[in-house]
Amino acid sequence: MMTRAFSLSLLSACLFTLACGDDRPSQPPEPTQPSVSFAISECGGFGQLSAEQPASTYCDAEVIEWRHDPATSTLKIVNKRVLLNCCGEHSMSAAWEGETLVLKELDVPTEAGGRCRCECTFDFEITIDNIASPLLSVRVEREVVQPDEQKTVIRATLDLGEGNGSLVVDNTNLGSLCDTVQPPPEPEDLTTSFKLSECGGFQSKADTDLSAYCDAEVLTWTYESVSQTLSIDNQRILLNCCGDRSLKVTQDDAGVLTITEGDEAGDAGRCDCMCVFDLQGVATPVTGSQVPFKLVRESFDAGEASVAIVASGTLDLDQGSGSIVVDTTDVGPWCE
C-alpha cells in the first residue's frame, strides 16, 4: 500500500507540472542567419565614385534607403554617408532575432596599419533573400572598434508594401569631410604623336641582324629639357597579330609618369597568330628630374579588360636618354 500511494502521488505531481507549465525562465532562441550578400564602398560612397549623385545631395545626411522586390522576395538596404576613419576593415551581416531583422555594420582597424589621421564617408549595402512579410522590424547596429568603442543602434519598421523608402539617420554637417571627397580628376594626356610599326617592327624591312632585337622587349627614351619633350620607343612588344593599338602618357600631381599602351580587339576581332610590334610616341610637357614611371599594358577582349604593369622604376631625365629592359621572355617563332 505504501508503494502504491507513493506512485499515485508522483503521477499527480507529474500531471500538475504538465498542466501548469515549467516556471523556469525560457532561453531566447538563437538568432538565425538569412541568406545575404553585401558590399562596402570605397571612401566617398558608391554614388560619388561613379558620379551618379551630386556631392551636395549625398553629403546632406546619413540616410538608410531600402527597396523590396515582391517578385523575388529580396530586400536591398543601403546605408549612405557613414562617417568612419579612413583606414579600417568593414563588413556587414544579418540575423533574425525573433521577428526582427538585425543588420550589423562592423568597422575594425586594418591589420597592417591600424587607423589613419583622417575620416571619410562610406556606404554599406546588403541584399537579403526570402523577405515576404508586409511589415518588417529592422534594427541596424554599427560597431566601431578602436580607438574608442562605439556602438550605434537604429530601429525602424519598414512597410514593404510601399516598395521602397528611406529614413534619415544623421543630418550633422560634415563640412570638408564630405564635400572634398571626390574622385581625383584624370591626368591630362600628354601624348602629341604616336606611331605603330607593322608586324615585325620598324627594322623588319631593313637589311639588319634582328637577333639582338628579338632577345628582349626594350623601352628606350630621350628627353629634351628645353621643350620638356619625352620621346619613347618600345621595341619587340609581343601582341596578337590583329588589334587596335593606342598610347597614352600622363603625369600626375605627384610627378609619377604613366605610359599606357592599349590593345583592343576592335570590330574585326583577333587572329590566330602572334607578332612583335614597335610602338613610338612623343609626350610634352614632362617635368622633373628623377621621375617615377610605370609602363602599363591594357588589353580588351570580348568585353573583358586586363591591366598589367609590365615595367616600373625611375627615369633620370637629367641623363637625356636611357633604356629599360621590359621582358626577356623567348618569343620563339614570332620573332626571327
DSSP-derived secondary structure letter, 215? H
pLDDT above 90 covers what percent of the chain? 47
Please, which pLDDT band fits residue 20 given cuts at 50, 70 and 90? Answer: very low
Q: Residue 3 pLDDT > 50, yes or no?
A: no
252 three-state secondary structure: coil
* C-alpha 207, offset from chain centre: 50
Between CA 270 and CA 84 the distance in angstroms is 47
The residue-averaged pLDDT of 150-172 equals 88
What average pLDDT does the segment 145-165 reach? 84
Asked if residue 158 has pLDDT above 50, the reply is yes
At residue 187, the pLDDT reads 84
Query: Which range is least confidently modeled, 44-53, 94-103, 121-130, 207-216?
Result: 44-53
Of the listed ranges 41-50, 88-97, 194-203, the least confidently predicted one is 41-50
Neighbours of 90 (CB within 10 A): 16
Burial class (CB in 10 A: 0-12, 13-18, 19+), 137: middle
Range among 85-89, 130-134, 216-220 with highest mean pLDDT value: 216-220
Asked if the model's pLDDT at residue 208 lies above 70, the reply is no
CA distance 4 to 14: 15
- The tens digit of pLDDT for each residue in 217-264 reads 999 999 999 999 999 999 999 999 999 999 999 998 889 999 999 999
Q: For 283-336, how does the pLDDT look when each residue is reduced to its tens digit (9 = 90+)? A: 999 999 999 999 999 888 876 778 889 999 999 999 999 999 999 998 888 887
Q: How far is CA 98 from CA 18, 22, 23, 28, in A?
A: 26, 22, 22, 9
Q: Give this prediction's pTM.
A: 0.49
> If you search the block for the grid coordinates 570605397, which residue do you land on?
42
What is the distance between the alpha carbons of residues 103 and 239, in angstroms, rounded to a whole number?
49
Instruction: Enumerate residues 6+ apart whose C-beta is below 8 A from 291.
Output: 251, 255, 256, 257, 314, 315, 317
> Nearest CA to 126 among 178, 79, 90?
79
Instruction: Give residue 21's pLDDT.
Output: 45
Residues 63 and 85: their CA atoms lie apart, in Å, by 18
* Average pLDDT value for residue range 75-99: 91
Single-letter amino acid code for the residue at 333: P
pLDDT at 195 over 50: yes
Instruction: Extract the C-alpha cell encoding 86.
Output: 579612413
Q: What is the mean pLDDT of the chain?
A: 83
Rounded to whole angstroms, the Cα distance separating 260 from 248 reads 5
Higher pLDDT, 336 or 200: 200
Residue pair 316/322 in contact by the 8 Å Cβ criterion: yes
Across 230-249, b (16+ Cβ under 10 Å) vs e yields bbbbbbbbebbeebebebbb
